[in-house]
Structure 1
Amino acid sequence: MEISGIKELLSGKQGADLLQVITEQYPDQVVFSTSFGIEDQIITDWIGKSKVNIRVFTLDTGRLFKETYSLWSRTAERYALKIDTYYPNTEKVQEFVSEKGPNSFYESVENRKSCCYIRKIEPLQRALRGAKIWITGIRAEQSANRHDMEYIEYDEGNDIIKIHPLFDWTFEMVTNYIKSERIPYNILHDKGFPSIGCEPCTRAVQEGEDFRAGRWWWEDQSKKECGLHVTTK
């Protein structure tokens, strides 16, 4: 089915209903990637409560916050949910750290992107194998790059169709929904962390700063993507 057909199929559908419709169209071929961010927790709640047939996975880079691991455990327990976990290739990590050093990503964009590739991109490629539809928690207002994306789009690099159910949601809408539905979330969000990634690469956002200012804060703002969500329309 082409993207236009999927858009028509999902027209007017939201939440768990949207997920149910897409899994009926693509049985056993829909995956959802969670980093346990506040947006991802909403989609996880829909999946967990509706028991819809979507494989949930996460990427463990080995450098996550302890608060993220705590939420991971609470989430899996609350929804009785199996979360497939993908780790970076050990030999590649060893080689990179041995040659560049454990914190070389601070030294150049090239080093940081190499680290992201080893710890995120390659594991993601393994996680997406065999899937036709990739559900994400991306929202348009998260960054300029994401604002230019679309609600449903084709990812040429991974040869997969991506659907962002929360694409038009504001951060206020997300936080209000989390509170009203009593969905577990990362306590770092209450400490000025709207976007949470690896611990060495994430800091709290100061008043007046951009949503993703706390990610790779030492780099130019235009470069602040790890490569997970590079899309060709």
Structure 2
Amino acid sequence: MSAILSSVPEPALSSSWAILQAALEHIADTHPDAVFASSLGAEDMVLAHAIFAAGLPIQVFTLDTGRLHAETLALIQLIEDRYGVAVRRIQPDPASIKAHVDAHGAYAFYESMALRKECCALRKVEPLRRALQGHSAWLTGQRRSQSLTRTELPESEFDPVFGLWKYNPLASWTQEEVWSVIRRFGIPYNPLHDRGYPSIGCEPCTRAVRPGEDERAGRWWWEQKQSKECGLHAGNLKD
């Protein structure tokens, strides 16, 4: 089980869950074509469970960057077996990835922020743009307390980068609320969370966090705290 052992009192947890369900139903009613971009992290598993349990017509997909942990890929199959749904896997363009690797090397992202962002753009941002094309809204599992770049995260906003509405239904949730819901419903989750990975991305770019670090300190750990976004949520980075 996750290192988050404290639990939210049942009345408060039931209230948070009811509010989340109502918010998701409202999004589905307002945007029948809404899609959920799942990172397969703990927060995203809570959202997926809520969507599947209510039978909402919100399509769930994940960005298969080609560099995910084996544990993350195994979770996709577990989701499909548990809920009887297919999780769409959006992959980057192979030719673009080959050209980038040929030009800069397989691990160029360690060399500079510019090369790291270029890698993220190819493996994540372009595939996401493709997946969102033609839709009016998308959902994420972001929370305000995850990092310095997310402290002002709204629950809903128009996303000018991708040109559609963006919803962050768990924006105000705490880490304790997330894990209390996972325990309450027996929601499947990535076993890397039990090994000190509160936030999980590509395998070469993610490490376990150390005591006292924020939840996303293990992402691109060689960079400054203020830069830890990949471009999927460009609005989180303030000038």
Paired residue secondary structure (1:215): coil
Selected match of 1:26 from 3, 7, 31:
31
Match of 1:149 in 2: 153
Contact map agreement 1:59 1:85 (CA 8 A) in 2:
yes
Q: Could you tell me the TM-score, scaled by structure 2's length?
A: 0.89
**Does residue 1:220 correspond to 2:230, yes or no?**
no
Paired residue secondary structure (1:153): strand
Match of 1:15 in 2: 20
Match of 1:197 in 2: 201
Contact map agreement 1:153 1:231 (CA 8 A) in 2:
no
Paired residue secondary structure (2:89): strand
Match of 1:66 in 2: 70
Contact map agreement 1:14 1:165 (CA 8 A) in 2:
no
Instruction: Find the aligned partners of 2:91 and 2:57 in 1 and give their Cα distance.
Output: 23
Q: Which has the higher relative contact order, 1 or 2, with Cα contacts under 8 A spaced 6 or more apart?
A: 2
Superposed, which structure 2 residues align to 1:154-193 within 5 Å? 154-193=158-197
Instruction: Find the aligned partners of 2:31 and 2:192 in 1 and give their Cα distance.
Output: 35
Paired residue secondary structure (1:134): strand
Give CA deviations for 1:14-67 in whole Å, capped at 9, x if unaligned.
22332222222222x211010110000001001111111111111000000000
Match of 1:103 in 2: 107
Instruction: Find the aligned partners of 2:52 and 2:164 in 1 and give their Cα distance.
Output: 23
Contact map agreement 1:32 1:57 (CA 8 A) in 2:
yes
Q: Could you tell me the TM-score, scaled by structure 1's length?
A: 0.91
- The gaps in structure 2 that reach 5 residues or longer are 1-16
**Does residue 1:116 correspond to 2:120, yes or no?**
yes
List 4+ stretches of structure 1 deviating above 6 A. none
Contact map agreement 2:109 2:116 (CA 8 A) in 1:
yes
Root mean square deviation, CA, Å: 1.6
Match of 2:4 in 1: none
Match of 1:132 in 2: 136
Aligned residues: 221
